Amino acid sequence: MREYLLMALVAAAVTYLLVPLVRVFALRIGAAPEIRERDVHTVRTPRLGGLAMYAGMLAGLFVASRLDHIGAKLADPRIGDGRTVIALALAGGVIVLTGFLDDWWGMDPFVKLGGQIAAAGLLVAFKLTLLWIPLPNGGTVSLDNTLTTILTILVVVVAINAVNFVDGLDGLAAGIVCIAAMATFAWTIALTDSMDQGRLSVTATITAILIGVCLGFLPHNFHPAKIFMGDTGAMLIGLVLATSVVTVTGTVDYNGAAGSINRFPVVLPILLPLAVMVLPLADLVMAVVRRTSHGKSPFAPDRGHLHHRLLQIGHSHRRTVLIMYAWTFLFAATVVGLSVGGVPLIVFPVVVLLALVVLIMMGLPRWRSGRGGGRGGGAHAAPRGPAPDTGPASEDPPVPGAAAGSHVSATTR
């Protein structure tokens, strides 16, 4: 555990210390949108925070490779051909370069998709792939090379875009991914006594470094943000989270834990990655359906994201982010709790109560508006004082030079 803590601290420290330098660099090269009348922020905010996050990730991986216990696990030839560190560094480099060019100059969405597939292909080349699909009856479905490649690339690309789509408010993506990584880390640590520690250690290492990177970046990114992670950072942490999902669902023999994780030793581990990414994935699916149903590109920006809806009903910027943190934690903690050991009956009403509390928090602003109806207000009345920081209208054009779907488009900043 001390080695994991050291990796996380190194990744967090390097990320935190480099963000101010990256901010100066981004401003000098013009990687920041001009301030417009409709913008919430009042100073030019750069979008290349992902460069500091990548440096933090590399520092964490370097330290991990030099540690006695973790270094030996990362060099295990059964996982990533023993070159997990190199695979993550190279795949991360490709995705960061793609995001950097997009944040700086703008990039066609399909060119950006090509960069995402290339990064996923590097993971496949180093054999960081799904190996089989567990079944509820305790068996597994083996995958041939073609299916392994296709499913791994699909998982990675979907995860990258899910995180990128949800990155629309200060601190939102970094916080959600951090919670997801914490849940995955807790699950792997809880099962190290009953399953192959070498395989689980790789997932734990990846998530520990990801936690550190996100925590190191959040102080600079929480509202009001001094810097945005941009596609550079959003796609990077999406890639790293996807790699942890691939290693935990594709290289761990769940049958070996049949007697140690509640009643669903196979199904719940599959649900874990879905639970920790439920908000980004839900937002991604709804965005694609919403845009295509209106005859638009799936990458076309709009104001229909989950965080936009919370802002529109009256929540502040920070409260909206905290609500989405709470939902992510609720889903992730529930699945981890159900999958590790026996679950007392009291857990279920507690989870329901927590869900109700979050729902009440979401509805409070609207109820307050409704109570003002006797004074000529009402749920749809214009708010008193300054309008909440909901961003520009949906018909506003995207930021010049920003790729469609970028989190710094006119619909999200």
pLDDT recorded at residue 364: 60
On whether residue 340 sits in a domain, the answer given is no
353-381 pLDDT tens trace: 676 576 556 656 555 554 444 443 333 33
What is the Cα 362 distance to its own chain's centre? 22
What length is written for the chain? 413
Residue 227 predicted with pLDDT over 80: yes
- Are the CB atoms for 202 and 80 separated by under 8 Å? yes
Residue 396 pLDDT greater than 70, yes or no: no
Could you tell me if 177 and 241 are in contact, meaning their C-beta atoms sit under 8 angstroms apart?
A: yes
pLDDT of 387 higher than 70:
no
| Least confident window among 157-166, 167-176, 221-230, 260-269 | 260-269
Domain presence at residue 395: no
124 has pLDDT over 50: yes
Q: Is the residue at 382 inside a domain?
A: no
**Residues 202, 210: Cα–Cα separation, whole Å:** 12
Instruction: Summarize the confidence of residues 201-209 as an average pLDDT.
Output: 92
User: In terms of pLDDT, which residue wins out, 243 or 44?
Assistant: 243
Q: Which residue has the higher pLDDT, 60 or 275?
A: 60
Mean pLDDT across the chain: 75
Q: What pLDDT shows up at residue 180?
A: 87
pLDDT-above-90 percentage for the chain: 31
Mean pLDDT of 320-337: 80
Neighbours of 252 (CB within 10 A): 21
The residue with greater pLDDT, 154 or 252, is: 154
311 occurs within a structural domain: no
pLDDT in tens, 4-43: 999 999 999 999 999 999 999 999 998 886 664 434 455 7
Has residue 343 got a pLDDT over 50? Answer: yes
Q: How many domains does the chain have?
A: 1
Cβ-count burial 47-85 (b if 16+ within 10 Å, e if not): bbbbbbbbbbbbbbbebbbebeebeebbbbeebbeebbb
Is pLDDT above 60 for 186?
A: yes
CB 156 within 8 A of CB 116: yes
Residue 354 within a domain: no
Instruction: Kindly state whether residue 226 falls inside one of the protein's structural domains.
Output: yes
With a cut of 70, say whether residue 121 has pLDDT above it: yes
CA-to-CA dists, residue 201 to 1, 273, 364, angstroms: 11, 17, 43
Residue 317 domain-assigned (yes or no): no
In a domain, 404, yes or no: no
Average pLDDT of span 254-282: 55
Pair 225, 41: CB distance under 8 Å: yes
Q: Residue 272's domain spans which residues?
A: 2-304
